[in-house]
Structure formats: C-alpha cells, structure tokens
Amino acid sequence: MDGHAERFAGRLVTAGVRHEDDTAREFESRLAESSTLAIRVAYSVVRNGSDAEDVAQEAFVRAHRAFGRLRDRDRFRAWLVRMTFRIALDWKRGHRRRGAREDAVARLRPAFGNAEHEIIDSDRAARLWTAIDALPQKLRLVVVLAAIEGHGMKDVSALLGIPEGTVKSRLFEAKRQLQERLR
Amino acid sequence: MTEDRDEILDELRELMAVEPTPGFEARVRNEVTRRAVRPTRPWWLAAAATCAVLVAIVATRMQPPSESARRSTKTAPIASPATPAPGVSEKPAITPVRVRLGRIAVKALPQRVEPEVLVPPDQAIALRKLMVAVREGRVVLAPVGNTDAPVVVEPLPEISPVKVEELPGASGDLKPGTESKKVGDHVPTEA
C-alpha cells in the first residue's frame, strides 16, 4: 500500500470512529433527557419502580438499534413513548400470572405518619389506577402523558403525533370517564 | 367539576412522580453494549458457516471427474480391424466417442481398467488371433465369399413318384345334359 492509500484508509477509519462517537454522544443525550419520561410512562402501566426501569431499559435498547432513523429529538421521544407503553403492556400481560405483587402505590407514596390517612390515600390511589386501566388505550396514553410534569397540550400532541385539538378532546373525555368511575 | 378534573390530573401526577435511580443510565449503557456485541458474533459465524457449506457443495459439483470416474468413462473406438488400405492416411478416420456417465452411474460401475468385454474371453482371443492372421496375410478371408467353389450337396431323401389318374370326362367327351355342371360341383376321385 502506498502512502496515499494509507492516508485515505486512515481518514476513513477516523471518519468512522468520529461517526460512532457522534452517534454515541447523541444517544447519551437522548437517554439523559428522556429517561424520566420513559420510566413514568412505564410506571403508569406496571406500577412498580423497579419493573418500570426494566421496561424503560428495554425500550432504550430497542431505540438504540433504531437510532439511525430516530436522530431527531421529537421523533425519538415520540417513538420512545409508544415503544415503552407497548413493552409495558406486554410486560404486564406476561407478569399477571405470577400472582399478586407488592402494592407499588403503598411502597412509593411517602408515609405521613398517620396510618389511617395512609390507608385512605392508598385506597384512593388504587381506585384511580383501576379507573385509568379501564380507559381505552388512546385516552389512557393522553391522560398519562398530560399528567407527566411539564407536559402541555403541545408536548402531548408532538409525542403522539396527533393534532392539539384531538389531544384536548381526548383529555376532556378521559377526565370525564375517570370522574365517573371515581364517584 | 373542572377543579375535580384537574384534581385527578394532579393526583395522577403525584402518583407518577417516579425518578430513575442513579444507576439507571449506566445500566442502559451496559445493556446496549452487551446486546450490540452479542448478536454480531452469531451473525458472522452463521454467515461464515453457510458460505463454507455452499462453497463446499458447489466445489463438489463442479470438480472434474476423478481418475476412476475417467477410467470408467466409456470409450468406444469404432475402428476397423483390418489394416488401412494403401494410400489411406494412418490416422484413424473415426475419432473415439467418449460417453461421460453420470455420477451415480459411475459409482455403480465396477472399477475396471479394461473396457467392457462384449464377447466371451476365449472367443475374443480367437477373434484377435484371426484378426492378426488376416493382417499378416496368413489367413485369406476372400474364399469365404467365393461362389465358384464346389458345393457339396447331400442327397435328398427319395420321394415316391405321384400317380395322377385321368379324371373321367377329361378327354372332352361330355354326355348331353352335363354342360350346366359347375366346376365346384366336381367330386374328386380317389387316388
């Protein structure tokens, strides 16, 4: 190999390494900014912090595989939300047979020192989760995403890829159904 | 009503206020690396193994027939046993016809060096001797086809002569009233 070819090969290798570095850096950035979102979406289905992390992790691994077409930030987050939700539903279906799990709500809610108060809160939370589970999927995802801190209508619209008006109407309908079930 | 609804959203927000554990990102990174490395090896191995098998199959099919197969390839020279006539080139006029047998047929054939013998061995020796003799001029085959040679005919068994008696009325003196008699109506006379 002559000097020119060597230089060319060296440049190719450098470009490849640089490309890999860029990809890794971009993925790191997406991971840092979207991990809370993924975990909360997963948690809304599996109701357990540890399981929610497992589900989110699986979603990120799959996202990494498809990262070539998910470089855009909004696209990545929208894809991640859908994928996490789907994996969480599958996970829940698969783990339902394992019997009663530890009540995640009681575990995650901070203790107020008053046992009676705690039981009431826990009961209220369980009823709310049951009501959310009973919602149709499209309403459920809207209400979960709207409940995640910092998400406005525009964010939910971008995450689900639907118009803002549709988000508003779905959220209204979801809240109405929840109110009825909690009454 | 609106307050109630927003209260529900607030409650839900509070219930969902989970944060990733400190090691979460590191775990994801490890898992991504582990899975990125793992599938590549079987993929490469599987591809390499498949290629090797394909190459082996193609090479086996494409290779020329082996020495034994070549030996068993039928060569059927159609050559005249007689010496070539004077003035005719010594180069054989008819080139040997090679018949390549299929793989299965070649395997089924016995591994023999000499070509298949179509005549019994003793007769083949006699035939070869005759051909050599004809070539050397010791035996002349011309009288075989010569018709001038005296033919010895064995006497045939004696045949007794046949007596043919004259039919009545064959002399032409027909009686009146016998003209209408057909030929088929004739009754053969006893010999």
ipTM of the complex as predicted: 0.72
A153 inside 8 A of chain B by CB: no
Determine the length of chain A.
183
Q: Which residue of A has its CA nearest to B32?
A: A61
Six-digit token string for A122: 């826990």
Which residues of chain A neighbour B28 with C-beta distances below 8 Å?
31, 35, 56-57, 60-61
Is B83's pLDDT higher than 70?
no
Of residues B11, B17, B20, nearest to A35 (C-beta): B20
Which residues of chain A neighbour B11 with C-beta distances below 8 Å?
124-125, 128
Is A106's pLDDT higher than 50?
no
Q: What is the pLDDT of residue A149?
A: 74
Q: What is the pLDDT of residue B43?
A: 72
Mean pLDDT to the nearest integer, B97-115: 54
Mean pLDDT to the nearest integer, A28-33: 88
pLDDT tens digits along B138-160: 887 776 656 565 666 677 778 88
Mean pLDDT to the nearest integer, A64-93: 87
Q: How far apart are alpha carbons A56 and A133 in whole angstroms?
A: 19
Of residues A57, A105, A109, nearest to B28 (C-beta): A57
Which residues of chain B neighbour A108 with C-beta distances below 8 Å?
15, 18
Q: What is the pLDDT of residue A111?
A: 45
Q: What is the pLDDT of residue B49?
A: 87
Six-digit token string for B181: 């008699």
pLDDT tens digits along A10-30: 665 566 556 667 778 888 888
Q: Which residue of B has its CA nearest to A142?
A: B9
Q: What is the pLDDT of residue A36?
A: 92
Is the CB of A56 less than 8 angstroms away from the CB of B20?
A: yes
For chain A, the average pLDDT equals 81
A81: Cβ contacts below 8 Å, ≥ 6 apart = A37, A38, A41, A141, A145, A159, A160
Of the candidates A163, A179, A78, A67, which has an alpha carbon nearest to the alpha carbon of residue B6? A179
Is A43's pLDDT higher than 60?
yes
In total, the C-beta contacts within 8 angstroms joining chain A to chain B are 81
A100 inside 8 A of chain B by CB: no
CA-based nearest distance B22→chain A, Å: 11
A126 inside 8 A of chain B by CB: no
Which residues of chain A neighbour B35 with C-beta distances below 8 Å?
61
Question: Which of the pair, A71 or B144, is modelled with greater confidence?
Answer: A71
Mean pLDDT to the nearest integer, A77-95: 90
Which residues of chain A neighbour B25 with C-beta distances below 8 Å?
31-32, 35
Q: With H, G, I as helix, E, B as strand and everything else as coil, classify residue B103.
A: helix
CA-based nearest distance A55→chain B, Å: 11
CA-based nearest distance A174→chain B, Å: 9
Q: How far apart are alpha carbons B86 and A26 in whole angstroms?
A: 95
Q: What is the pLDDT of residue A88?
A: 93
Q: What is the pLDDT of residue B125?
A: 87
Is the CB of B28 less than 8 angstroms away from the CB of A61?
A: yes
**Phi and psi of B67, rounded to 5°?**
-60, -45
Q: How far apart are alpha carbons A38 and A55 in whole angstroms?
A: 8
Q: How sure is the predictor about A123, in pLDDT bands with cuts at 50, 70 and 90? A: confident
CA-based nearest distance A51→chain B, Å: 11
Question: Which of the pair, A182 or B71, is modelled with greater confidence?
Answer: A182
Per the listing, tokens 């289905």 go with A45
**Percent with pLDDT over 90 in chain A:** 41
The angle, 0 to 180 degrees and rounded to 10, between the axes of the packed helices A164-182 and A137-147 is 100
Q: Which residue of B has its CA nearest to A181?
A: B8
**Percent with pLDDT over 70 in chain A:** 75
Mean pLDDT to the nearest integer, B70-92: 51
Is B162's pLDDT higher than 60?
yes
Of residues A31, A44, A108, nearest to B28 (C-beta): A31
Q: How far lies A165's CA from each of A73, A152, A158, B8, B138, in Å?
A: 23, 12, 12, 21, 120
CB of B44 within 8 A of CB of A59?
A: no
Judged by average pLDDT, the poorest of A46-50, A139-143, B117-121 is B117-121
Judged by average pLDDT, the poorest of A44-48, A74-78, A95-99, A156-160 is A95-99
**Phi and psi of B180, rounded to 5°?**
-75, -5
Is the CB of A124 less than 8 angstroms away from the CB of B27?
A: no
Q: What is the pLDDT of residue B146?
A: 60
Q: How far apart are alpha carbons B111 and B62 in whole angstroms?
A: 22
Q: Which residue of A has its CA nearest to B6?
A: A175
Question: Which of the pair, B162 or A164, is modelled with greater confidence?
Answer: A164
A55 inside 8 A of chain B by CB: no
Is B99's pLDDT higher than 70?
no
CB of A38 within 8 A of CB of A78?
A: no
Of the candidates A63, A9, A10, A7, which has an alpha carbon nearest to the alpha carbon of residue A34? A63
Mean pLDDT to the nearest integer, B87-109: 53
Is B174's pLDDT higher than 60?
no
Which residues of chain B neighbour A43 with C-beta distances below 8 Å?
16, 18
